[in-house]
Structure 1
Amino acid sequence: MAATKKKQAKTQSNSRYIIGFWTIFGIGVLIGILIFLLAGWGAFGKMPTFEELENPETNLATEVLSADGETIGKYYNENRTPIKYEDLPEHLVQALVATEDERFYKHAGIDARGTLRAAVFLGQRGGASTITQQLAKQLFTENVSDSFLERVFQKVKEWVIATRLERQYTKEEIITMYFNKYDFVYQAVGIRSAAKIYFGKEAKDLNIQESAVLVGMLKNAALYNPVRRPDLVEDRRNVVFEQMARNGYISETEMDSLKKLPMKIDFTPEGHDEGMATYFRAYLQGFMKDWIENNPKPDGSKYSLYRDGLKIYTTIDSKMQSYAEDAVHKHIAHLQKEFDRQNESNPTAPFRDIDKDEEEGLIRQAMRRSDRWYTMKAEGKSEEAIIASFEKPREMRIFSWKGDIDTTMTPRDSIKYYKAFLQAGMMSMVPQTGEVKAWVGGTNFKHFKYDHVKQGKRQVGSTFKPFVYATAIDQLKFSPCDTMPKSRFTIEAGKFGNLKDWTPKNAGNSDYDGMVTLKQALAQSINTVTARLIDKTGPQPVIDLAEKLGIDVSEIPAVPAIALGVADISLYEMVSAFSTFANQGVYIKPVVINRIEDKNGTILYQNTPVTKDVLSKEAAYVTVNLLEGVTQSGSGVRLRGKWAGERIDYKRAVTGYPYDFTNPIAGKTGTTQNQSDGWFIGMVPDLATGVWVGGEDRSVHFPTVTYGQGATMALPIWGMYMKDVYADEDLNVSKGEFERPENLSIEINCSEYGKKQESQSDIPDELDF
């Protein structure tokens, strides 16, 4: 009996333990469920709504694409450009799953085995966060707290969000979102940006070694950074290979071979100051801000250039842009050496033709335009204090053609240092469509922000003369074969509003004897002949033509002196104006954007060409014929590989010579007073390209025309660029003749013209000199 009672008591005691265990277990489960419910209801912090899960908020970079499909830049708060799952290499996905979440395809957001292992071994044998949990953390939770309790609650939130993401998205979509969201540092947000920045290629083109490097960075991108810690990253890459072998994605033999390969990085930063077409992108940024201001979303809100993932399809050709930048860089770096050499004996270097007071005025103007001045002024500092700050030596990094230099100098000295550098602008466009194919606004956007394509306006010199000739052809039907005397010519005061007599001189050692054809006169840039032409047409018709050609004439006075190019005009305006001649007299406004799309591919903007008839086909063609003479026997003959016996060490001054072009080229050089500006605008039938070279200030120039003329300063850039363009058969730029209009009534064949003149008994009054 006693034994029976003892047994019953033991059974009752065990029952109590069992009941107690299951009671505690049940309470634990209920508490766990309650915690999950509370987390789901937002008790531990805001949880994403269904709509937010459907469309997780991300900062998407606006992508700038070239006409040939290359990404040439981005605008962003976070440099993220989304990618589709089908564009992810298979080995990249395999590396991710093998390294970060081996049971990714078997769980529903939470890996129970991994969580239990992490709990038992306190994380010593790996963490428990699945790819989905990591995505949840990136998308919807804050940074990790220092508080243990808050970290627990945050982990619960991650679990809840992860399970919701698993119900909302497929595994492939989760992987895609994860790769698109992760920040690989150096402004490489998302796998596509990372592939471009670290390897210079699209994500779809990554090889298995490169994929392993990027997956290895997912553990801690700041620590496993291939730029700063290559050895550590290579070790981490090899761990990824081991994980891939362990999970059967690669064999042991493949793993061993891959681990022996050296790690190769092609680091290509994508900051706003780096990359291709930096000046163009700065201009485009301003264009887009204006467009956004006037084109709201359907709901009335404004698009964000930095968050909405717009795609801007530009007209820029990435190859032509690269050739243009290369030509500018090579020639200006080369020319700068000669410029510096000639300044060694210049006591006012880098300035010429000014006194100390004028030099001080230029330095003070530069001070007032500087960021330092604006910042200190905003802080309420006095002008005396601001000026004094420019005299204190500071550590700074300055530009040089051999690379940036770390040095110590005063801000005032740095201003004078930068004044000594020659600058350049270059633009290339298709005359028939207006599409701008290359835009180089300067030599280095990081150090010289001023854009010399559209922002800058400089005296155009003799490149203005074709507008005078075109007016005469259009109004008076002049032929390139008509002759005029080279002798001195005066337009008396008051005839066209000029306040005094105007008697231009011919440049250089040009004589004033004899007669020349108009074609010879333009080729040799004879000023007296241009003066005679504007005397016949009057200045106002020339200005009217320039305005129809897209030039801002608001600051151009209707006086005869404009014939020699005293007006300040932008390179952008000059190239589009010259293009009209190649486009048979039809002006077309330059086009830089073909279309704009939102992140879903909806077209928001489509370019519509803006055109107008300016000249007859005949007048335009005859003007082109005149301009061809410049490269046949004038200052542009250097493009043919001929130097006409000029005394100059061209190897020291000119890059890329000889050019040896044999195809038709119409163009005009320009050199302004004191050699402050050098120009060349050249055209073939389907491409017009202009180049300007000069100093930031007009007092920064070569001492003589030997090196300071447009044919030496600007023309070589055009020559090198076109050599590369023609060498690239994919571009298919024309080497043919300019299109001749039917029933051309103006004779351009001078041998035939002479015979006709001899047979004519009556000569029009306007040709009777």
Structure 2
Amino acid sequence: MLKIKKLLKNKWVNIVIKVTLSLVLLLILFYGSIYYGMWGEVPSIKSLETLKQSQATEVLDTNNDLIGKFYVFDRQSITYKDFPEHLIKALISTEDIRFYDHDGVDNKSLARVFFKTILLSNDASGGGSTITLQLAKNLFGRKDLGFLSIVVNKIMESIVATRIEKVYSKEEILTLYLNTVPFPDNTYGIESASKKFFNTHTKDLSISQAATLIGSLKANTYYNPRVNPERALARRNVVIRQMEKYGHLNADDALIISKVPLVLEYRSYDPNQGLAPYFRAEIKRQLDTILQLDEFRKPNGDTYNIFHDGLKIYTTLDNTLQKYAETAMTKHMTALQKQYEKAYGNNAPWLKNKDAYKAAKIRLIAYKKLKEEGLTEIEIEAELNKKRDVELFSWNKTEIKQLSTLDSLEHYLKFLNAGMISLDPTSGAIKAYVGGIDYRFFQYDHVSQSKRQVGSTFKPIVYTAALENGIKPCTYFPIKSITYTDVENWTPTNAGGNYDNDLNYSLEYALSNSINTIAVKVLYETGIPEVINQAKLMGINSNIEAVPSIALGSSNLSVLELAKAYTSFVNESTPSTPVFITKIEDKDGNLIASFDDLNPKKQTEKAFSDTTRQVMLEFMKATVNSGTSQRLRSQYNFTNDLAGKTGTTQDNKDGWFVAIMPNLVTITWVGNDNQQIGFSNTSIGQGANSALPIFANYLEQLNQDSKYASLVSAKFETPSNEVLESLICEPSKKDGFFERLFGNKKDTKEFNEEKPKRGIFSWFRKRKND
């Protein structure tokens, strides 16, 4: 006791004691300042009880398979029962072996780290962080507090970790952790990572797959299995050894698993990549409108946020049909692009100094901006010729090149684009949707947004109106060319120059062989107002100008709109409204909206009679069997029940094909985004060559998939005896002697009718049918 008193009287001992006590007090005050929020709010136990985490909204196909997500952080939450046992064992063996023994902060591990790592410089001692500490960091992030950041944040995390342990069970902590932890490629949560890297649900992960994902947590860029597969494989095997070390795997199993190759089935859910990006973009556009409506808000009146609220969007799309559609488009467009460029050669309109190139240049945003700044043409040209690294689209592969703005313009002006939709004509359910050739580089949607001239695909509407207005299927019209003096002497022409003055064709032959001169005569005989009204009844809402050229497809319509009109031919004469979304649920599975809430009331009024429907189907079957679409039989050898119509527009700028099956309507379009540029010749640009093969590639895949056997083997309805009898006539006939001598009275009546006085049709004079 005397020694202690004497020691305390020692000057230096007193200094050490005072300094130590001061440091302890300072540390207590420092800890207290953090605890009580002087460095920023520390989540309370109450706030931890109501944790809200941003969750990705999932877009699901008709089979509830994931096709995409909307997110800030790519996260999908699942429950503890969805975690396979080996996943939990891999996590605890690698990240926190004493997880079940500590209260959020593992003091033994911290002591080990302090003595071995700091004092003995032994890097093999491991880390002192626990799963709960990591969860605290994942949930609330770290603040930038200057040079004290690491210390303050670590203390904050330890406080939060102990509070988390008081609020949640160990199972709940593991669930929170695995739903929020960051994996490679900006992916949050084990379910999102499982789907992205292995295209499987968490509950179905193998030991090797689970170990790979858990291994990436140490450094999710360095051990990214997509970018660094060798490092990821080595790290996976470290996890396997840890599981063996702690008794979760026997030595034999560990050895076998460590020899399993790392095989990914990577699926990107990035909005610009992956399956059906154009469809997902359209879904987002619709959600932006739907979720603003009062009836679809949260119970408290707030608007749902698709990037945070973890909604489930159930759609009509069929994942498999979508894959087939995208594959069909890619296969054909790759080959067609080569044909297209070869046909133009050195005369391509997209090359510098060509009219189309010059016109496109002055439409550039960069050009307009420089012009506004007062630069001369020479100065603008110099600026636009400055080179930089640019990622370029190519059908072979994307590549980065040193190019100027004008180089990029020339590169992209040459590309053909495409649109395709496939839908159930009865329900309107969209089964496949291809809005363009690559969403990363061409984000303009050619199904819903783009409107192009539809060419001869409008003719079935003209013929439908004709039948509805009393013209009989076996009515004959002369093929001879007529000049319409009241529309700038417009003279419709036919491909091949067939204008035999004595030859007349039936409606079926004229439509199936897409004869322009007769289509215009049928229009006049029926009446332009009647044809426009027929189009409206079939669901077309775009403006259709009351001019004779509509018979040849001068109207601008979208692929989606045209598809709606054609559904009426296999939906009891009633057009089906295209359906994208069937229902929307919140993250807990509560219904927000259903199909009946989201879609217009189904049209019940027939657009035309059942007799007309049956006749028109026979006409369009003939198009496939012996008309402009006959290559489906002769070249592709399809035996399916098919009807269809090709379409080609002025100067071969648009190629179309409409395919009708009993339970599926498909439309394909091909053309250049720049409407000044068409195909160099009709043989390449006609719809039968530019658009039809996409459908053919698509149907080929459907025919080979037994899952769709009933779809592709479906049969059209049998026409009534009345319809069959009305079609009994020769496809053509010659005028008799007296008709040749005195003229065709019907012709005289037909072309003396009052016609609109328009002056915009001179450009149609060279129009060729498909």
Please, what TM-score do these two structures have when normalized by structure 2? Answer: 0.86
Distance apart, 1:28 and its partner CA: 11
- Aligned residue identity for 2:514: S
CA distance in 1, matches of 2:547, 2:696: 35
1:436 to 430, 434, 441: 430
Structure 1 counterpart of 2:503: 514
Distance apart, 1:291 and its partner CA: 2.0
Deviations 1:571-617 (A, max 9, x none): 11111111111111112211111111121212212122532222222
1:315–1:593: 8 Å Cα contact kept in structure 2?
Answer: yes
Deviations 1:734-763 (A, max 9, x none): 42332357x775445634899xxxxxxxxx
Label 1:212 to 1:586 Cα distance change in 2 as closer, same or farther (>3 A): same
Label 1:669 to 1:43 Cα distance change in 2 as closer, same or farther (>3 A): same
Structure 1 counterpart of 2:415: 421
Root-mean-square deviation (Å): 3.3
Matches within 5 A, 1:363-374: 363-365=361-363, 367-368=364-365, 372=366
Structure 2 counterpart of 1:542: 531
Distance apart, 1:246 and its partner CA: 1.4
1:461–1:566: 8 Å Cα contact kept in structure 2?
Answer: yes
1:476–1:766: 8 Å Cα contact kept in structure 2?
Answer: no
Q: Does residue 169 of structure 2 align to residue 166 of structure 1? A: no
Structure 1 counterpart of 2:285: 286
Structure 2 counterpart of 1:121: 116
1:45 to 23, 40, 44: 40
Please, what TM-score do these two structures have when normalized by structure 1? Answer: 0.86
Distance apart, 1:91 and its partner CA: 1.3
Structure 2 counterpart of 1:461: 455
1:689 to 663, 666, 672: 666
CA distance in 1, matches of 2:158, 2:19: 23
Structure 1 counterpart of 2:58: 63
Structure 1 counterpart of 2:754: none
- Aligned residue identity for 2:579: V
Structure 1 counterpart of 2:175: 176
Label 1:145 to 1:217 Cα distance change in 2 as closer, same or farther (>3 A): farther
- Aligned residue identity for 1:159: S
2:367–2:384: 8 Å Cα contact kept in structure 1?
Answer: no
1:213–1:234: 8 Å Cα contact kept in structure 2?
Answer: yes
Distance apart, 1:625 and its partner CA: 1.9
Distance apart, 1:14 and its partner CA: 12
CA distance in 1, matches of 2:566, 2:368: 39
2:429–2:580: 8 Å Cα contact kept in structure 1?
Answer: yes
1:728 to 705, 720, 741: 705
Label 1:585 to 1:92 Cα distance change in 2 as closer, same or farther (>3 A): same
Label 1:180 to 1:748 Cα distance change in 2 as closer, same or farther (>3 A): farther
CA distance in 2, matches of 1:181, 1:538: 65
1:405 to 395, 399, 407: 399
Structure 1 counterpart of 2:302: 301
CA distance in 2, matches of 1:276, 1:381: 45
2:611 to 610, 618, 624: 618
Structure 2 counterpart of 1:595: 583
Distance apart, 1:529 and its partner CA: 2.0
CA distance in 2, matches of 1:24, 1:103: 36
Q: Does residue 662 of structure 2 align to residue 663 of structure 1? A: no
Aligned residues: 716
SS at match of 1:683: strand
Q: Does residue 531 of structure 2 align to residue 531 of structure 1? A: no
- Aligned residue identity for 1:628: K
CA distance in 2, matches of 1:108, 1:38: 22
Structure 1 counterpart of 2:205: 206
Higher mean C-alpha displacement, 605-614 vs 580-589: 605-614
1:546–1:553: 8 Å Cα contact kept in structure 2?
Answer: no
Structure 2 counterpart of 1:739: 717
Deviations 1:119-178 (A, max 9, x none): 333464122221111101211241576645x53443332222212212222222211211
Label 1:156 to 1:519 Cα distance change in 2 as closer, same or farther (>3 A): same
CA distance in 2, matches of 1:564, 1:61: 47
2:663–2:714: 8 Å Cα contact kept in structure 1?
Answer: no
SS at match of 2:292: helix
Distance apart, 1:30 and its partner CA: 10
Structure 1 counterpart of 2:130: 130
- Aligned residue identity for 1:416: E
Distance apart, 1:485 and its partner CA: 2.7
Structure 2 counterpart of 1:639: 632
CA distance in 2, matches of 1:680, 1:254: 57
CA distance in 2, matches of 1:674, 1:99: 67
1:47–1:140: 8 Å Cα contact kept in structure 2?
Answer: no
Deviations 1:513-570 (A, max 9, x none): 423221111111112222221112211111112122222332x211222111111111
CA distance in 2, matches of 1:45, 1:131: 23
Distance apart, 1:406 and its partner CA: 2.3
CA distance in 2, matches of 1:362, 1:140: 50
Structure 2 counterpart of 1:646: none
1:487–1:514: 8 Å Cα contact kept in structure 2?
Answer: yes
CA distance in 1, matches of 2:566, 2:746: 26
Matches within 5 A, 1:10-21: none
Distance apart, 1:377 and its partner CA: 9.2
Distance apart, 1:294 and its partner CA: 2.7
Q: Does residue 688 of structure 2 align to residue 711 of structure 1? A: yes
Distance apart, 1:678 and its partner CA: 0.8
1:186–1:269: 8 Å Cα contact kept in structure 2?
Answer: no
Matches within 5 A, 1:576-591: 576-591=564-579
CA distance in 2, matches of 1:141, 1:393: 40
- Identity value in percent: 36
CA distance in 2, matches of 1:605, 1:388: 55
2:143–2:153: 8 Å Cα contact kept in structure 1?
Answer: no
CA distance in 2, matches of 1:54, 1:425: 50
2:472–2:726: 8 Å Cα contact kept in structure 1?
Answer: no
Q: Does residue 81 of structure 2 align to residue 86 of structure 1? A: yes
SS at match of 1:504: coil
Structure 2 counterpart of 1:191: 190
- Aligned residue identity for 1:447: F
Structure 2 counterpart of 1:654: none
CA distance in 2, matches of 1:618, 1:329: 39
CA distance in 2, matches of 1:382, 1:201: 56
- Aligned residue identity for 1:107: H
2:646–2:687: 8 Å Cα contact kept in structure 1?
Answer: yes
Q: Does residue 743 of structure 2 align to residue 750 of structure 1? A: no
CA distance in 2, matches of 1:90, 1:377: 65
CA distance in 1, matches of 2:489, 2:286: 45
Distance apart, 1:388 and its partner CA: 4.0
Structure 2 counterpart of 1:648: none
CA distance in 2, matches of 1:349, 1:151: 61
1:361 to 356, 359, 362: 359
CA distance in 1, matches of 2:20, 2:658: 86
CA distance in 1, matches of 2:368, 2:304: 30
SS at match of 1:551: coil
2:183–2:216: 8 Å Cα contact kept in structure 1?
Answer: yes
Deviations 1:9-38 (A, max 9, x none): 68999999xxxxxx9999999999987766
2:450–2:558: 8 Å Cα contact kept in structure 1?
Answer: yes
Matches within 5 A, 1:254-403: 254-295=253-294, 296-344=297-345, 346-350=346-350, 356-357=354-355, 359-365=357-363, 367-368=364-365, 372=366, 388-403=382-397
SS at match of 1:241: helix
Matches within 5 A, 1:23-42: 39-42=34-37
SS at match of 1:42: coil
Label 1:82 to 1:285 Cα distance change in 2 as closer, same or farther (>3 A): same
Label 1:417 to 1:300 Cα distance change in 2 as closer, same or farther (>3 A): same
Label 1:127 to 1:736 Cα distance change in 2 as closer, same or farther (>3 A): closer
- Aligned residue identity for 2:361: I
Structure 1 counterpart of 2:651: 674
- Aligned residue identity for 2:626: S
CA distance in 2, matches of 1:683, 1:501: 37
Q: Give 5+ residue unaligned stretches, structure 1.
A: 1-7, 17-22, 494-498, 643-657, 755-764
2:658–2:667: 8 Å Cα contact kept in structure 1?
Answer: yes
Label 1:220 to 1:241 Cα distance change in 2 as closer, same or farther (>3 A): same
Distance apart, 1:712 and its partner CA: 0.7
1:622–1:748: 8 Å Cα contact kept in structure 2?
Answer: no
